[in-house]
Structure 1
Amino acid sequence: MTQKFWIALSAGGSAALLAGAYIFQALGYPPCAMCLWQRWPHFAAIAIGLIALRVGGRALPALGALAAATTSAIGVYHTGVERDWWEGPTSCTGGGGLDGLSGADLLTIAGPRVIQCDQVSWELFSLSMASWNALFSGLLVVGWIMAVRARS
C-alpha cells in the first residue's frame, strides 16, 4: 500500500468520525465541551492529510498521527470522566457549568441547556461516543504510522 493510500484512509477516517459527530448532533445529541475538544484534532488531521497528499514526505503523516493520538487521548479522558474514574473540568461536569445563570434562567422553559461532560448521552455495546472516538482514533494513529513508514 502506498503512502497516499494510508494518508487518504486516515484523513478520511477523521472526516467520517466528524461526520458521525455532526449527524448525532443533528439527531438531538448536542455536544458537551469535551466532545467539541475531540473534534479539533480531527479537523487538523484532515487539513494535514490534504496537504500531505500533495507534498508527501514523512513529517506531515507524523503530524497526522499526533493529531489522531490527541483526539484519542481526549476521548479516553472524556470516557474516564463519564465513568467517574477521575474528575473532569468543573466547567462542564456536575460540579459546575451553571455559573453566571440566574434562577430565572434556570426556571424558564426555553432556558439554557447545559450539556454535562460527565453524563453519557448515547452508548452502543456499553461504549459512549467518547469511547468510540478514542477507539477509532487509535486505529487512525496506526494508519498514520503506516503512512510514515510507507513509500510514496
Structure 2
Amino acid sequence: MGFLNCLAGVSRRVLVSIAAICVAMLAFGAYLQHGLGLEPCPMCIVQRYALVLVAVTTGIASLRDGRGWQMGWSVAGLLAADFGAFTAARQSWLQWYPPEIATCGRDFYGMIENYPISRALPMIFRGSGDCTVIDWTFLGGSIANWSFVGFAGFSIVLTALLVALLRRSNHVTTS
C-alpha cells in the first residue's frame, strides 16, 4: 500500500523516467544499426515503433498533473508496451525455434509501400530469416530478449502506476 501511494505521488517523475529510458533504448538501437552495422529486421522495426509510442505517450502523460490525463495516456503507453512485448516475445520464439525454411522477406517500408495493410501486417509478423538471426548478445540474451525485458518492465511499472492512480482517485472521492 505504501509503495502504491508513493508511486502515485511521484507519477510525473515515473512517466518522465520511462520516456527517458525509451529514448536511451532508441539511441542504443541507432548505435547498433549505424555504429555496428546491424540491420534491423521487420520485427525490430515494429518494436522501435512501439518504443517510440511508449516514449511519446508517457512523455505526454507527464506534461500535466491531472489524474485523468495521466491515466488516459498511461493506458495508451501500457497498450504500446504490451504490443512491443508481444512482438519481442514472438521474435525471441523465432530465434529459439527457427522455422525450417527461412526466407529473407522485404523490409518494413517496402512491405507497407507495395502491399495493402491487410497483406503487409501478416508479412511483418511472419518473421523472415532476418528475424531469426542473433547478431548481438549481452549476458546471453539477444536484442529481442532484452527488448522483451524492457517492454515487460514498462508494462509492470505502468500497471502499478495506473493502480496507484486509481486507488488515489477512489480515496479522494470516498473521503
1:14 and 2:22 are equivalent in the alignment? yes
Q: Are 1:75 and 1:130, in contact at CA under 8 Å, matched by a contact in 2?
A: yes
Equivalent residues, number: 132
TM-score (norm 1): 0.76
Q: Are 2:92 and 2:144, in contact at CA under 8 Å, matched by a contact in 1?
A: yes
Paired position in structure 2 for 1:53: 62
Assess, with a 3 A threshold, how the Cα gap between structure 1 residues 12 and 146 changes in structure 2: closer, same or farther: farther
| Structure 1 CA distance for aligned equivalents of residues 17 and 105 of structure 2 | 38
Which structure ranks higher in relative contact order (CA pairs < 8 Å, sequence separation ≥ 6)? 1
| Structure 1 CA distance for aligned equivalents of residues 90 and 129 of structure 2 | 17
The CA RMSD measured in Å over matched residues stands at: 2.4
**Where does structure 2 lack aligned partners over 5 or more consecutive residues?**
1-6, 107-127, 169-175
Assess, with a 3 A threshold, how the Cα gap between structure 1 residues 23 and 115 changes in structure 2: closer, same or farther: farther
2:156 to 138, 142, 147: 142
CA offset at residue 74 of structure 1? 0.6
Same amino acid, percent of matched pairs: 20
| Structure 2 CA distance for aligned equivalents of residues 144 and 120 of structure 1 | 29
1:41 and 2:41 are equivalent in the alignment? no
CA offset at residue 116 of structure 1? 1.1
Paired position in structure 1 for 2:32: 24
TM-score (norm 2): 0.67
Paired position in structure 2 for 1:95: 103
**Where does structure 1 lack aligned partners over 5 or more consecutive residues?**
99-113
